[in-house]
Every structure is written in structure tokens, then in C-alpha cells.
């Protein structure tokens, strides 16, 4: 059984006071304790950004990829050992800027990964430049006269690209976020949670009070299996009406389930076979 002390490292969090990374990190550790995620069954992959420090504060097998390249590393880990719980922590800049193409194809292929987006609406590690999620007209260090770009909608992009579990949460509602992480990991296929994670230092619009006042939960009667309705509700983000919860869930074979050469086994345990390649080489020499 995993205990909270099992996840402790010698390093203390160094995020800014009020950073939404803190409750997000604690929610993940709570989920790990509840589910028994440890170094025998779990791997964590992070991108580049403030969120990436999570791997230093959580004692789990982890890999920090190049900027925007967390998903390729995670898919490789999952294919090599499909028995692992594989979590990807990524930021809105890391995931949709440098890593946008990887996100689309990971959704399309329905890799059995749990992707947790630290969504603070800008590049925080580099002190507050606009990201692909920054609202239009927002003033940042890189857009002092207002952002001319239209932002991506992470949920719409995930659903449209083929993700089979799509949800949104507010970082400081730790109880809900903990349960969402557990449900996302239990889902067989590509799971995506867009976590509204305030950056109190550089984003003065999307603060904790803002999200506390302007978010609400999808009604109990909501049907997450209807893709068209999910896309419609995912588009609700008019700064005063931001829904939270599970938007879309579909049962579909995961990518790893369709790899015939695995034969129901773990790839790294497959034996190697020697083969005489001399006749093949002779054709090209």
C-alpha cells in the first residue's frame, strides 16, 4: 500500500505562493495513495515548464522530455511496458505550442495515457509570454498591446482529435481533481484533463477568485457519451460560464490493445531471436 511518505523526496516545492501547481500536485499524490501507484506500476513524464518541477517533488519513476516532447516519450514507455500507469504532466505552452502535433496524433491513436494539462494561459516559466491558450487581446510580456491570436480550446481540440476521455477541473478543488485523475487512469484509452491552474505571479486575469466565481459543474443529467453535445459544451468558456467535469467518454480499443506483435504480453519481456542476415546484406553489397 502506497503511503504519502513513500512519495516524498528530499526537495521542497519552490513554486510561487498561490501557484495552482501546488494543489494539483497534492491531488495527484492523494490519488496515488488511494490507488497504490508506486515505482513498480507507475511512470511519470513531464514537459518543460513550471509544471515539470513536479517530478522533483514526487518519488516516482519519471522522465522529463524536451520542450513539447513529453507525449512521444510517454507513448514509448507505454508501448515498452503496457502494464504501467503512465501519466503525462504538461503545460499549455509545452503541449499546444511546441507539442501541438504530438497531442493531436496521440489523441488520434488513442494511446492509453493520462494527460494532465497545467493550464495557466501563458508561458509562466519564462515569466509570462502568451501561449496558444492565452485569450485574444490579453496583454502579456510578448503581447504588450494585446494578443492578436485566437486561442485554442483544449477540450474541443482533444475531442475533435479522437481522445476518448476528456475532462476539465479547477486545480484547488482537490477532491474533485483527485477523483478525476483516478477515473482518467482507469479509462482504457487517451485520457485528458484540462486543469485550470492559476499563475498568481504573471496571469492577473485567471486567478483563484476568478475561477471560484466563474466555474460550475456539469449537471448530473449530462450525457458524456454524446460527442456533438460534448463539443458544444466544451465551447462554453465566455469568462463567466466555465463548466467543469467529464465532458466526453467513449469506449474504444486503445492503441496498445491493437498491437498484434505484443500477443498480450509486455514488449520488453519478449525474447530475442537470432537470424542470419548475410543473404539480405548480400543484395546490397
In degrees and rounded to multiples of 5, residue 168 shows phi and psi of -135, 145
Q: What is the pLDDT of residues 165-182, one digit of tens each?
A: 999 999 999 999 999 999
For residue range 92-106, what is the model confidence (pLDDT) as tens digits?
989 898 888 899 999
The percent of residues in the chain predicted with pLDDT above 90, rounded, is 69
93 with 154: CB under 8 angstroms? Answer: no
- pLDDT number for residue 16: 93
- pTM for this prediction: 0.91
CA angle 39, 42, 43 (to 5 degrees): 95
Q: What pLDDT does 274 receive?
A: 72
CATH 2.30.130.30 fits 4-282, yes or no: no
The full set of domain ranges for the chain reads: 4-282
Q: pLDDT confidence of 40, banded at 50, 70, 90?
A: very high
**CA–CA gap between residue 58 and residue 8 (Å, rounded):** 6
Place of cell 465532458: 247
Instruction: Answer whether residue 273 shows pLDDT above 70.
Output: no
pLDDT score, position 270: 67
Q: Coil, helix or strand for 110?
A: coil
Concatenating the DSSP letter of every residue in 18-63 gives T-THHHHHHHHHHHHHHHT--TTTEEEEE-SSGGGGGGGSS-S-EE
Please write down the HEC assignment for all residues of 6-25: HHCCCCCCCCCCCCCHHHHH
* Residue 282, pLDDT above cutoff 80: yes
Mean pLDDT value of segment 139-144: 87
* Short-list 149, 65, 60, CA closest to 106: 65
Residues 6+ apart with CB under 8 A from 69: 47, 98, 99, 102
Work out the pLDDT band at 26, boundaries 50, 70, 90.
Answer: very high
Amino acid at each position: 500500500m502506497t503511503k504519502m511518505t513513500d512519495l516524498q523526496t528530499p526537495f521542497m516545492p519552490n513554486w510561487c505562493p498561490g501557484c495552482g501547481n501546488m494543489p494539483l500536485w497534492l491531488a495527484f499524490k492523494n490519488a496515488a495513495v488511494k490507488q497504490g501507484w508506486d515505482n513498480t506500476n507507475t511512470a511519470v513524464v513531464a514537459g518543460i515548464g513550471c509544471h515539470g518541477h513536479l517530478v522533483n517533488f514526487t518519488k516516482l519513476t519519471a522522465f522529463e522530455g524536451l520542450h513539447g516532447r513529453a507525449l512521444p516519450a510517454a507513448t514509448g514507455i507505454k508501448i515498452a511496458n503496457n502494464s504501467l500507469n503512465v501519466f503525462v504532466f504538461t503545460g499549455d505552452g509545452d503541449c499546444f505550442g511546441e507539442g501541438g502535433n504530438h497531442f493531436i496524433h496521440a489523441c488520434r491513436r488513442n494511446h492509453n495515457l493520462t494527460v494532465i494539462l497545467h493550464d495557466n494561459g501563458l508561458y509562466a516559466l519564462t515569466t509570462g509570454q502568451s501561449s496558444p491558450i492565452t485569450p485574444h487581446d490579453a496583454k502579456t510580456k510578448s503581447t504588450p498591446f494585446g494578443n492578436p491570436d485566437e486561442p485554442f480550446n483544449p477540450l474541443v481540440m482533444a475531442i475533435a482529435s479522437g481522445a476518448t476521455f476528456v475532462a476539465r477541473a479547477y486545480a484547488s478543488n482537490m477532491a474533485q481533481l483527485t477523483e478525476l485523475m483516478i477515473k482518467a487512469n482507469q479509462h482504457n484509452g487517451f485520457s485528458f484533463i484540462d486543469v485550470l491552474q492559476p499563475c498568481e505571479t504573471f496571469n492577473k486575469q485567471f486567478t483563484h477568485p476568478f475561477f471560484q466565481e466563474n466555474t460550475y459543474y456539469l449537471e448530473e443529467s449530462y450525457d458524456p457519451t454524446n460527442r456533438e453535445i460534448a463539443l458544444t459544451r466544451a465551447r462554453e468558456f465566455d469568462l463567466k460560464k466555465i463548466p467543469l467535469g467529464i465532458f466526453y467518454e467513449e469506449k474504444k480499443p486503445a492503441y496498445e490493445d491493437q498491437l498484434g506483435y505484443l500477443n498480450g504480453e509486455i514488449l520488453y519481456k519478449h525474447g530475442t531471436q537470432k537470424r542470419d542476415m548475410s543473404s539480405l546484406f548480400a543484395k546490397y553489397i
